[in-house]
Chains A and B, each alone.
Chain A
Amino acid sequence: MTETFYDVLRRQGISRRSFLKFCSLTATSLGLSSAYAAKIAHAMETKPRTPVIWLEGLECTCCSESFIRSAHPLTKDVILSMLSLDYHVTLMAAAGHQAEKQLEDIKKKYKGNYILAVEGNPPLNEDGMYCIEGGRPFVEILKETAADAKAVIAWGACASYGCVQAAKPNPTRATPIDKVITGKPIIKVPGCPPIAEVMTGVVTYMLTFDRIPELDRQGRPKMFYGQRIHDKCYRRPHFDAGQFVEQWDDENAHKGYCLYKMGCKGPTTYNACSTVRWNDGVSFPIQSGHGCIGCSEEGFWDKGSFYDRVTDIKQFGIEANADKVGGTAAALAGSAVAVHAAASALKKAKKSDSAEKVTGGN
């Protein structure tokens, strides 16, 4: 029989006490009540573990790097013991033909029962030749592996939205995985990279509850992407008060005022940075004095400067923001009105002038 998570953990020498601690921490991080800790524990003790296949396409491995830094050591152990048993290009021990055989074996043995986690995306130009793995285009491997998966997780901005390799002009036609994979539930976990605890949280939720977390309109788990950075930012009181950093390194920056005017994308970015934070909850960009760059939003590389509040829009062929486009239109209308009014006044004056002449002639 297939091992349960708990078996794997015990085999690795993890105590029951640590295991239970992990369960309550997971329940908390998923926003569930304490009663769920017991449910998670029960699920992990009894359910056969679900294998996870982790594929990497066009990407920089920052998702994996973030993932292995998951703060609570046990989280890392749980997930790694599962993943290292299965398939993860960067982390697994096997290489070459052995590794590829491993992938084939899992796909056969757990057909329709494994979770596919995808880091990066497939480039479609030149028949996918810009990303070759084991001698084949990544897009083919992705489609095949997805076909027999139970569910698909899109790790990071690459898999979810395309990220930097899909930024204009996107020479390789890097494409988010949901445009390539059809007929499978896809959970988007955007971010560049996503927060480690968010990643382990999503995987744990799926493995323990045997279902995908509740998703929002854009396919992101509501529990982590339900609110904007701005909504839970510790600098929010300064925003409401009207206290802003006016320029880098000014007095207000030292006081920790709101970075809104410096182009912080917190008000338009959905992520858990301001609550979960990074590196074991040490900090997050805004706490370090720099605005959010909106890395978990769609196409964030093409949405204008990281340092502008009113960002440039490129629909008009020129790079200008709404104030420049709209202000110019309003100014043009104003000048046109002034000129037109002057011309109208002249016309009317002439008309009454000629009318007077006509009257005078009589």
Chain B
Amino acid sequence: MNLNAAAASLENNPETAAGKTVYVYEAPVRLWHWLNALCILVLASTGYLIASPLPSVAGEASANFLMGYIRFAHFAAAYVFAVGFLVRIYWAVVGNHHARELFYLPITDMKWWAGLVRELRWYLFLEKQPYKYVGHNPMGHLFMFLFVTVAAVLMICTGFALYGEGMGLGSWQDRLFGWVIPLLGGSQATHSWHHLGMWGIVTFVILHVYAAVREDIMSRQTMISTMIGGQRTFRE
């Protein structure tokens, strides 16, 4: 299929005709999405405060545990995030085909590339209308794959490697993830990559929230309510 034919088939997809409503995101996916959002909020803010701590507190050291609480919140949220990610992988296997989108890129599919070009032109104001999709549009799909799946794997690997340093040699965190530290050139470098990963995710969140709100208004299909109720309705 060449690009033009691919574009034509996207334009006339009966599934996305105006007035149609499709059930896209199943309950576990939606629940995971919002839990993940909460985790990221906690992880990014506490993580930033671990690298750049708050001004010193007064009083005896024994009477304070501020840094300890911040680190605890970070580690607790990290466990929820990691377990959530594992459950999400499980759901990708047993859930509907939209639940699998996060974990692969259809780079051999011409239709996907045609959609990606169209989406890019839409964001550059070169198209009057974007194509409609039941699941993610190709641009969203690409960003999801890079900044949710790949980033989560990197953050979990570097994060647990660093956590394993505190848990000690021989802990399961050390045995499973300890190899990451020499690979990245030491503990300090691993901290730096983990920190950069946080900024990558923060940048993604800004774009993600903007795109969701914008497309809800401008691209003839529901976005925000879809992640709440799971149904996507198409408009003219």
Chain A: residues with CB nearer than 8 A to chain B? 216-218, 222, 226-228, 231, 237-244, 246, 252, 257, 260-261, 265, 267-270, 294, 297-299, 303-304, 309-311, 313, 321-323, 325-327, 329-330, 333-334, 337, 340-341, 343-344, 347-348
A327 to B44, CA, bound (A): 12
- Contacts A243-B56, A244-B56, A326-B202 known; 20 new A-B pairs at CB < 8 A: A217-B178, A237-B62, A239-B67, A240-B61, A240-B67, A241-B64, A241-B68, A242-B54, A242-B57, A242-B64, A246-B55, A267-B187, A269-B187, A297-B188, A303-B189, A311-B188, A313-B189, A322-B198, A323-B51, A327-B199
A327 to B195, CA, bound (A): 11
* Cβ B199 vs Cβ A325 within 8 A: yes
CB neighbours of B187 from chain A (8 A): 228, 267-270, 297
**Residue of B with least CB distance to A327:** B199
Residues of B114-168 whose CB lies within 8 A of A: 123, 125, 165-166, 168
A204 to B187, CA, bound (A): 29
10 nearest A-B pairs in the assembled complex, by CB-CB distance: A326-B199, A242-B66, A268-B187, A241-B64, A322-B195, A237-B61, A241-B61, A242-B67, A240-B68, A268-B188
Set B66, B123, B165, B203: member contacting A329, Cβ < 8 A: B203
| CB of B217 within 8 Å of the partner chain | yes
B166 to chain A, nearest CB (A): 7
Number of interface residues of B (CB under 8 A): 47
Stretch at the interface among B2-10, B19-27, B82-90, B206-214: B206-214
* Cβ B178 vs Cβ A337 within 8 A: no
CB neighbours of A231 from chain B (8 A): 166
B160 to chain A, nearest CB (A): 15
A326 to B192, CA, bound (A): 11
30 A-B residue pairs with Cβ-Cβ distance under 8 Å, sorted by A, are A217-B182, A218-B182, A226-B169, A227-B168, A228-B187, A231-B166, A237-B62, A239-B67, A241-B60, A241-B63, A241-B65, A241-B66, A241-B67, A242-B57, A242-B65, A242-B66, A243-B56, A261-B53, A265-B188, A268-B186, A297-B186, A297-B187, A298-B182, A298-B186, A309-B52, A313-B192, A322-B196, A329-B199, A330-B199, A348-B218
CB neighbours of B207 from chain A (8 A): 333, 337
CB neighbours of B60 from chain A (8 A): 241
A218 to B67, CA, bound (A): 30
* Cβ B202 vs Cβ A330 within 8 A: yes
A222 to B187, CA, bound (A): 16
| CB of B185 within 8 Å of the partner chain | yes
A324 to B188, CA, bound (A): 17
A163 to chain B, nearest CB (A): 14
**Residue of B with least CB distance to A267:** B187
CB neighbours of B61 from chain A (8 A): 237-238, 240-241, 243
A315 to chain B, nearest CB (A): 9
A268 to B66, CA, bound (A): 21
A233 to chain B, nearest CB (A): 12
* Cβ A299 vs Cβ B203 within 8 A: no
CB neighbours of A299 from chain B (8 A): 185-186
B37 to chain A, nearest CB (A): 17
Set B65, B185, B186: member contacting A240, Cβ < 8 A: B65
A191 to chain B, nearest CB (A): 14
| CB of B100 within 8 Å of the partner chain | no
B129 to chain A, nearest CB (A): 10
CB neighbours of A330 from chain B (8 A): 199, 202-203, 206
**Residue of A with least CB distance to B63:** A241
Set B179, B191, B200, B210: member contacting A337, Cβ < 8 A: B210
**Residue of B with least CB distance to A244:** B56
B164 to chain A, nearest CB (A): 11
CB neighbours of A240 from chain B (8 A): 61, 65, 67-68
Given A226-B168, A242-B56, A268-B186: A309 and B51 within 8 A (CB)?
yes
**Residue of A with least CB distance to B189:** A303
A261 to B166, CA, bound (A): 19
CB neighbours of A268 from chain B (8 A): 186-188, 191
CB neighbours of B125 from chain A (8 A): 343, 347
CB neighbours of B188 from chain A (8 A): 265, 268, 294, 297, 303-304, 311
B125 to chain A, nearest CB (A): 6
CB neighbours of B123 from chain A (8 A): 340
**Residue of A with least CB distance to B166:** A231
A313 to chain B, nearest CB (A): 5
Q: Which of A268, A269, A294, A323 has the most CB of B within 10 A?
A: A268
CB neighbours of A323 from chain B (8 A): 51-52, 195, 199
CB neighbours of B181 from chain A (8 A): 217
CB neighbours of A246 from chain B (8 A): 55-56
Given A298-B185, A330-B203: A310 and B195 within 8 A (CB)?
yes
* Cβ B199 vs Cβ A321 within 8 A: no
CB neighbours of B62 from chain A (8 A): 237, 241
